[in-house]
Chain A
Amino acid sequence: MEFTASKKAIISINNLSKKYKDLIAVNQLCLEIYEHEILGFLGPNGAGKTTCIQLICGLIAADGGSIEFHLEKNNKSPQQNIGICPQENVFWPKLTCIEQLVFAGEMYGIELQKSKKRAHELLEWLGLNEKTNTVASKLSGGMKRRLNICLALMHDPEILILDEPEAGLDPQSKVLVRNFIKSLAGTKTIILTTHNMDEADRLSDRIAIIDQGKLLKTGSPKSLKQSIGTGDLLEIVFDHSYISSLTGIKNSLEKLNFTVTEHENKLILYSKNIMQKITEVVQQINIPVQQMNMRENSLEDVFIHLTGKKLRQ
């Protein structure tokens, strides 16, 4: 699904800035988040993702710029229309699953009976119905994560922010959570921050990559992958002792119209029909090669291409 300007923006971020002493966490960020899309929010550690989320939630004040919410369905405040599932599990450890969901519902002004009904529905959807009366601290890691998602959704928010929703989950739970997130598509606007490129690729309608507080690129996973070259990708791995020679090889390959990214002891080449050009490539390499891999390019390649670094977490 491609999102275009015809889609209705639910959040408009304009020239948003936030500074912590000398560190610019968010730098003139402009981004539109569309209604009912799943936006993958990618960036290395310290890129400014968490600060952006905190600014959107109103937990911290911006130094400049603005965030506009275009919410029409209800008269709740923007904060009350946001459900957040932070990376850390945030719940009341001494309360049972049902107790805390009902409590969270009541804090949003939902009536007790409605709150109980909604809590039971969520527990069932996320496979926690057998743990309804279990104290949260006694749940397994995966169950705690799912309870965290339930808490974020208890008040049926318009906007759902999921920070690393699959972190710490076993494969079965990952599938369950992934399917659950997919089931919300089209009914909720979801902002998904993750380091898992595969997760972002599978779930997101659109990806926004930020680094050093700046938005580097937005687009669908497919368009982003195409942006660094259509076709295949050749990854050539050298011994670390030859790192100083890589720039020279890179320059000579670029002269042959290859798109090349240098990363540590690797050179990554993007090109159509790269298999047919492999002889040309090999001729330019005058140092021993440790490994050569050919594959389709991925979001991680886009990420590295844009940020020039691997994920730091």
Chain B
Amino acid sequence: MKKIISIIKKSLIEQIRSYWILILTVTMAPFFVFVYYLINESQKPSYDVLIVNADTGVQQKNYGKILIEYTQNLKNDTMPVPLKFKEMGSKQKAIELLKNKDADALIVIPDNFSEIIEEIKNGIDTTQATIELIGDLSDIKYMISAVWTSGIAQFFVYQSVNQKSLFSIKETALGLSGKMDDFDLYMPGLLILSLIMLMFPATIAFVMEVENKTMLRLKLSEVTTFQLITGISIIQVLIGVLSIALTIVCALAVGFNISGNILNLTVVVILTSISMIAFSLIVAAMCKTVNEVLIIGNFPLLLFMFFTGAAFPINSTSNIEIFNYPLTFQSLMSPTPAVLATKKILVMGMGLNNVIPELSAIVVLTIIYFIVGLLFFHYRHMRLN
């Protein structure tokens, strides 16, 4: 035990002094979160609508102004309103912006808007108010803006004249589309990605002993493979926890909603970290230098990133299942069940009892990785005759 503690201390010092590797490892996944957030935000529909209020008002009341205020506080039950309204002082200037494609549509509120609304409220039979919509009719963005704007204006007028709408619309979200967007679906995978990145510092920590030839000193002192690996692995698990904590903080900062239990997530994180360290042992057994780690390690990194659902959600179907766990090529990689478990816990708010098949798969795969890695690493680097 004393030897393991000494190796932990030494490994911690080395990690802190190799701060560039540490920083790059723990910031990689938060960086991915930020990139995905930006991609997601840029893909969200958003339309710019200009409003020119020509309404002269009546009896100190200006329904045109009230309509503009109303547009600034629009809310929808199932999805955000994709319009950004901006009041303009001059119709000519607004048209210039439209022509330059700096806006998608223009609404001009007529000068008699308040007058007509007041007359309707007082039961006077009056003419219709004409709200003018201006835009490039061949542009799909104009069409969507116009449809949304018409509905909003109509709803405002009904409210203003105290009349009920002739109909109401109930919107039903398909699946989880109303509650979460693409970003929410990517997040569990990105959290596991932060643990996949652990493969590099962990492998490097093992291989550094070989590259520096300090393995010779460790072998002669009769440190066991188990003691060395346990000492190094404990620090790597801590790095994994730090990395995932940073990723979660970054995700929360850009609007990710966690609906699950963090303690349940911690269980998955620790198991997955150990699993990645176990896999790192196999990679470390194949390498003698850090350069080799960077070359050879890229192959499993690509597999783990793109075939486990870590970087992108993937679907895989299998006709063979063991205890509700589908057996596919992807399911032989521990990040696959880890991503599934994280998704269930974080997005669907499920408990540990709902992810038993995934946790069992991680444990089984980790044991296999560890046995193969330990034997292979011992054979390649720590054998003493």
Contact = CB atoms under 8 A, between A and B. Distances in A.
A92 B384 contact: no
A92 B14 contact: yes
A58 B212 contact: no
Contacts of A103: 6, 9-10
Interface string A59-74: 1111000000000000
Interface in B187-221: 212-214, 216-221
A104 B217 CA distance: 8
Contact of B221 (A60, A93, A99, A155): A155
Interface string A117-142: 00000000000000000010000000
A86 interface: yes
Interface string B9-28: 11001100110000000000
B222 interface: yes
Contact of A151 (B6, B14, B217): B217
B212 A90 contact: yes
A80 B6 CA distance: 18
Contact of A79 (B14, B213, B214, B222): B222
Most buried by B among A62, A84, A106, A135: A106
A109 B224 CA distance: 13
A60 B223 contact: no
Interface residues of A, number: 29
Nearest to B6: A106
B384 A135 contact: no
A82 B221 CA distance: 9
Contacts of B221: 80, 104, 107-108, 155
A107 B6 contact: yes
A107 B218 contact: yes
A169 interface: no
B220 A79 contact: yes
Interface of A: 57-62, 77, 79-80, 82, 84, 86, 88, 90-95, 99, 103-104, 106-109, 135, 151, 155
30 contacts: A57-B220, A58-B384, A59-B216, A77-B222, A79-B219, A79-B220, A79-B384, A80-B221, A80-B222, A84-B217, A86-B216, A90-B212, A90-B217, A92-B10, A92-B214, A93-B212, A94-B14, A95-B10, A95-B14, A99-B10, A99-B13, A104-B217, A106-B2, A106-B6, A107-B217, A107-B223, A109-B2, A109-B3, A135-B17, A155-B221
By Cβ-Cβ distance, the 4 closest A-B pairs, closest first, are: A61-B385, A107-B221, A106-B6, A94-B17
